[in-house]
Amino acid sequence: MAGTTSKVTLAKGLNMGLRKAMEADDKVLLMGEDVGKLGGVFRITDGLQKDFGEDRVIDSPLAESGIVGTAVGMAMRGYRPVVEIQFDGFVYPAYDQIVCQVAKLHFRSQGRIKMPMVIRIPFGGGIGAVEHHSESPEAQFAHTPGLKVVTCSNPVDGYWMIQQAIAHDDPVIFLEPKRQYHAEKTELDEDATPAPLFTSKVVRPGSDATVLAYGPTVKTAMKAAEVAAGEGTSLEVIDLRTLSPLDLDPVFASVRRTGRAVVVHEAHVNLGLGSEIAARITEECFYALEAPVLRVGGFDTPYPASRLEEEWLPDLDRVLDAVDRSLEF
């Protein structure tokens, strides 16, 4: 069909997805700091207030607990609030509302209260920012029963996953790799049929080792796979996409073939998603493993000043180093 295919950035894909969701259901509301007139500091909500009005695209007072807390009330009243947290490091004033209220209301009310809320958080580093603008808080939410946590790594997933998250009846923490917002454009076919939301995806087949990534590190993993291919090593790359629940069947299938797995995320290694994934792989694929599951991530320190962030963040070399260590084990 003509006119439904275009080349878009992640920012544009998300913007189009939000627009689609708002057109499809007039209960969908956007709330957050600077999301209205400005269109958000990353312009993800650009133009939406103009087209859907101030009742549906709400510039909120500067208070994250206030934003999420009032979104709870909106959800109880039948709305589907999509909350924008301006940067990862600013979600914590809302942390209490998220883990004590948003996550538990369905359970506490025996399912009588639905919480179809999406909390969008630009996350991850590499943009040369000051403190609190480059963090990866996913494990803190994935650790909380009642919340679902997903992350898109590319424009096409951004477009589909945000719509799926909004249509989903449970609260979803939706993590967007901010470094990718305005990076490459990808061909988006709006008539395609997307994969279900809570599924992971093999994004590059390979046979020697399996590299698991999500959000910003998918790109790193793909580059590593390319370099490794040049050196005669075949890496399979899986984009996890969903962090809670995890969809590990494709991972197990892969590791049973390769016998080796490396998990890559920007978040701290200690008790990061990689720890859970390594445990599950060990439980499911113990006899297929040729090496321990290795984790590559941010060091267990606060996020450093930006002049050091490229050292702190897992990069191509650190992924390849882990792959080598796995192969040589």
Partner 1 sequence: MTHQDTGFGPDLVEVFGPKHEDGGPELIQLLTPEGERVHHPEFDMEFTAEELRGFYRDMVLVRRIDVEATALQRHGELGIWAQLLGQEAAQIGAGRAVRPNDFVFPTYREHGVAWCRGLDPLHLISLFRGVDHGGWNPHDHNFNLYTIVIGAQTLHAVGYAMGMQRDGVVGTGDPDRDAAVLAHFGDGASSQGDVNESFIFAASYNAPVVFFCQNNQWAISEPIERQSRIPLYQRALGFGFPGVRVDGNDVLATYAVTQAALQRARDGQGPSMIEAFTYRMGAHTTTDDPTRYRLSADVESWKLKDPISRLEVYIKRNGYADDAFFADLAEEADQLGHALREGTKAMPDPKPLDIFDRVYAEITPELAEQRDAFTAYLSSFEGSH
Ligand X SMILES: Cc1ncc(C[n+]2csc(CCOP(=O)(O)OP(=O)(O)O)c2C)c(N)n1
Instruction: Report the sign of the C-alpha dihedral through residues 105, 111, 113, 117, in that order.
Output: positive
* Amino acid in the structure at residue 182: H
Q: Rule CB under 6 A: is residue 304 a binding residue for ligand X?
A: no
Nearest to residue 81, comparing CAs of 240, 90, 97, 93?
97
Exactly one of 24, 62, 271, 279 binds ligand X (CB under 6 A); that residue is 62
143 is catalytic: no
Q: Rule CB under 6 A: is residue 90 a binding residue for ligand X?
A: yes
Q: Rule CB under 8 A: is residue 301 a binding residue for partner 1?
A: yes
Phi, psi of 186 (to 5 degrees): -130, 150
Pick 178 or 260: Cβ nearer ligand X: 178
Exactly one of 28, 32, 33, 150 binds ligand X (CB under 6 A); that residue is 33
Pick 93 or 292: Cβ nearer ligand X: 93
Alpha-carbon span 307 to 269, nearest angstrom: 21
Exactly one of 7, 37, 50, 108 binds partner 1 (CB under 8 A); that residue is 37
Exactly one of 17, 81, 89, 146 binds partner 1 (CB under 8 A); that residue is 89
Q: What share of the chain is helix, strand, coil (3-state, %, to 5)?
A: 40, 20, 40
Query: Which run of H or E residues covers position 316?
Result: helix 316-328
Mind giving me the DSSP string for 231-256? TT--EEEEE--EEETB--HHHHHHHH
Q: Which window, 38-46, 146-154, 176-184, 243-251, contacts partner 1 (CB under 8 A)? A: 38-46
Interhelix angle for 316-328 vs 217-230, to 10°? 60
Alpha-carbon span 175 to 123, nearest angstrom: 6
Q: Rule CB under 8 A: is residue 302 a binding residue for partner 1?
A: yes
Pick 120 or 295: Cβ nearer ligand X: 120
Q: Which of 106, 132, 133, 265 is catalytic?
A: 133
Q: Rule CB under 6 A: is residue 93 a binding residue for ligand X?
A: yes
Catalytically active residues, by annotation: 133
For partner 1, the binding residues (CB under 8 A) are 33-34, 36-39, 41, 59-63, 65-66, 89-90, 92-93, 128-132, 270, 299-302, 304-309, 311-312, 317-318, 321
